[in-house]
Each structure stands twice: as structure tokens, then as C-alpha cells.
Amino acid sequence: MSSGNRFVAAGSFCSQCGGALQPAVKFCAQCGAEVGTSSAITLIGGLAEQNQSGIPELEQLVAEHPNDETYRKLLAVALHDDAMKDWWEDPADKKLLCVTYEGVEYAKNQLRRANELQFNDSTLRQHIGGGIQLANSMEGRKFVGSWLMVVALGFFGVAPGVVWWYVNRRPCYLINKDYMAHSVTGKHQGAAAKMGGVQGKIYEFFENAGGEWGWLFGLFFMLTIGVILSPVFMAIAYKENYLDVSKVTA
């Protein structure tokens, strides 16, 4: 199959019925159409060789053929595939992860455009809807701090524990960025993450050096030095997870 045909089929959808395609198949399992043989695919494939995405050419064809649903479906597939073209592929499970705010916004915009197209294909709609949910989830926040610190600070009142939890809620795309960098370099990324790593190493040191009671020495460190330095950790976490993020999204 040529690179152009591969662009149109995208390894996901049949151009005839919109059904999901398995990798390296020759015929669609739902309608029996041979993959990559339709005139529409041949035409768009040639256009795709001139433009990496082929989206401008597809938009022109949609405008020139307003009554032909095929072009709208092909444009929707192209927008769907283009939405996550710059996301990072996790080598562990081959999943695509967004690692920048710009990547999230680009994906949301392309998928929104695809979803606004008029075509009658429930399978393609589901794929686009799933992509929209995935892109939106990348802006959600998850707690990345130490729950032990939440408990430890909770002894001094509810507020310190809640503040620790709040400032350590990091946007998912930045968590992905940290994970990507760690998988490449093997090092913790960001000041807060590095400090957390140092805390963990010190705890392990006490645990290994203290023998049977090592875990208690490590816990004592976390509940004393860790708590004393917690305002510094909170300030750094708030800067990285909120202030720096606001500068990018403003």
C-alpha cells in the first residue's frame, strides 16, 4: 500500500463503510471492500503526497462536492489522525501521550473540526468522540505528591494536608512530559520531583542502614525534616504546577 493510501485509511477506517480496520488487512471485515482501491482513496492519496496531511486539499474537495459524503468522511479521518501527530508514543505500550499545552489545544481544535462535519457514520463518530475525551483529559490534574506527607501534615490540622494535596496536583500533559523525560534520561524532572526523589533516597538510606528498625528511622525523617521543609516544597510545587502553567496558557 502506498504512503498516500496509508494516509487515507490511517490504519483505522474503511473508506467505504467507515468500519475499523485491523493492521495489514487487505479487505474490510464489515463490508468486504478491498483496502486502498477506491478512486477516492487514489485521488486523495496523490494529494497527500503533495501535502503532509492533505487537509487543505480535502477541504477544497468538500467545498467542490457538497453533496458527496465521502469527502467529508475522508476529511474527518484526516483531521482525526492529524490531531495527535505530535504526541509522544510511549515505547512501553505504544500509547500516544500529549506532553505540551499546545499539543492539547491543537488536538482539541482538529477534533472539533472533524466532529462538526456532517456525515452518517457512527463508528467514525465514536473514534472522534473518544479522541475529544482523551484530549480534554490531558488538561485534568492528578495528585503527584506523597500521601505520607498529606497524613503527616494532617497531624497539624486539616489545612496543611489539604494545601499539600492541592499544590501537588499537576496537569496530565506535564505528568506525561515528566514521564517522557524520565524514560529518556532516567532522571527526575523539575525541582519538586527532584526533591521528592531526594526524600525517597534518604528514606531508603535509613531503611537499609537501620536494619530491622530502618523503616522507623526513615519514617521519623519524613515526619520531621520533611515536615519542616514542607513550606519550601509547597512553594516550589505551586510555582511549577500553577504559576508556570498559567504563563503558558495565558
- What is the reported pLDDT for 176? 94
Q: Check: CB of residue 67 under 8 Å from CB of residue 145.
A: no
Low-confidence ranges of the chain (pLDDT < 70): 1-53, 188-203, 222
Convert the pLDDT of each residue in 179-227 to its tens digit: 998 888 877 666 555 555 566 666 677 777 777 777 777 777 767 777 8
Domain-terminating residue out of 137, 166, 198: 137
Domain-terminating residue out of 91, 112, 137: 137
Counted domains in the chain: 2
- Whether residue 153 is found in the same domain as residue 205: yes
- Whether residue 168 is found in the same domain as residue 132: no
- Whether residue 145 is found in the same domain as residue 238: yes
Domain-terminating residue out of 116, 137, 158: 137
- Whether residue 103 is found in the same domain as residue 218: no
- What is the reported pLDDT for 200? 63
- What is the reported pLDDT for 53? 59
- Whether residue 49 is found in the same domain as residue 113: yes
- Whether residue 125 is found in the same domain as residue 165: no
Q: What pTM value is reported for the model?
A: 0.71
- Whether residue 27 is found in the same domain as residue 110: yes
- Whether residue 146 is found in the same domain as residue 202: yes
- Whether residue 129 is found in the same domain as residue 223: no
Which of 123, 94, 117, 115 has the alpha carbon at shortest distance from 29?
123
- Whether residue 8 is found in the same domain as residue 93: yes
> What range defines the domain where residue 194 resides?
141-249
Contacts of 147 (CB under 8 A, 6+ apart): none
- Whether residue 159 is found in the same domain as residue 105: no
- Whether residue 214 is found in the same domain as residue 149: yes
